[in-house]
């Protein structure tokens, strides 16, 4: 867990994969990100979330006022988020926008499903960054905020994320989690109004998977 920016308004973090943001419903005593952060820096406010298995950049507010300002940016789509993902099979397209409506928290595994009748409007923009023989590295920009959105949209397009067993991927020895990384985040500073972009490079397991795909 690495803090990459901090002032009296914001805290920006490089979140490791495998650490939940909040307590897991099944393992209430297991470590979680917010507690570890608050033990280190004091009170923080959650602005957005990443899945337990997702690595990468996260922003937290350090005051109630900053929390309101940042939350509005996310609600009004003023925060720009870019993820990198490894797809299980290389698509034919170079760019694709997925607009499958999504319904969340389905069944015992709390899956998200594409549901044109009862789902909420959802949009993710995909762009190929590099093709491999059996996979592809893509940029994914979620334009809405739905649980597991990128993962489900990739699956609905016929290209599940490498390692994402919950959403249709095959067993793999390349990576032990869904290959999804929050690469960059752009927000407006709540006090200075400066537009700030924070980037976090790929973690070791993601880099290792890409290297093995490149052989």
Give catalytic residue positions: 51
Structure tokens at 122: 């959802």
Cα–Cα distances in angstroms (integers) from residue 82 to residues 4, 23, 185, 197, in the given order:
17, 26, 6, 11
Q: Confirm if 56 and 200 have CB atoms less than 8 A apart.
A: yes
- The residues that bridge with 127 in the sheet, in sequence order, are 95, 139
Nearest CA to 38 out of 61, 64, 14 is that of: 61
Q: Confirm if 165 and 159 have CB atoms less than 8 A apart.
A: no
Backbone phi and psi for residue 141, each to the nearest 5 degrees, phi listed first: -120, 105
Neighbouring residues of 195: CB distance < 8 A, sequence distance ≥ 6: 186, 187, 188, 189
Neighbouring residues of 211: CB distance < 8 A, sequence distance ≥ 6: none
| Residue with token string 């960054």 | 129
Structure tokens at 209: 């998977």
């Amino acid at each position: 867990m690495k803090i990459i920016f901090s002032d009296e308004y914001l805290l920006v973090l490089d979140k490791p994969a495998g650490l939940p943001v909040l307590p897991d419903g099944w393992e209430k005593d297991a470590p979680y990100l917010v507690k570890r952060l608050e033990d280190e820096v004091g009170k923080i406010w959650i602005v957005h979330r990443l899945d337990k298995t997702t690595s990468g950049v996260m922003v937290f507010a350090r005051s109630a006022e900053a929390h309101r300002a940042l939350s509005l940016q996310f609600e009004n789509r003023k925060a720009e988020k870019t993820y990198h993902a490894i797809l299980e099979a290389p698509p034919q397209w170079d760019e694709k926008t997925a607009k499958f409506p999504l319904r969340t928290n389905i069944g015992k595994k709390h899956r998200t499903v594409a549901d044109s009748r009862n789902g909420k409007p959802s949009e993710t923009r995909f762009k190929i960054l590099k093709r491999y023989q059996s996979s592809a590295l893509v940029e994914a920009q979620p334009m809405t905020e739905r649980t597991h959105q990128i993962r489900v949209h990739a699956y609905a397009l016929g290209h599940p994320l490498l390692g994402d067993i919950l959403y249709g991927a095959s067993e793999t020895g390349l990576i032990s989690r869904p290959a999804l990384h929050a690469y960059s985040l752009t927000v407006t500073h709540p006090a200075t109004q400066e537009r700030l972009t924070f980037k976090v490079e790929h973690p070791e397991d993601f880099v290792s998977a890409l290297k093995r795909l490149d052989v």
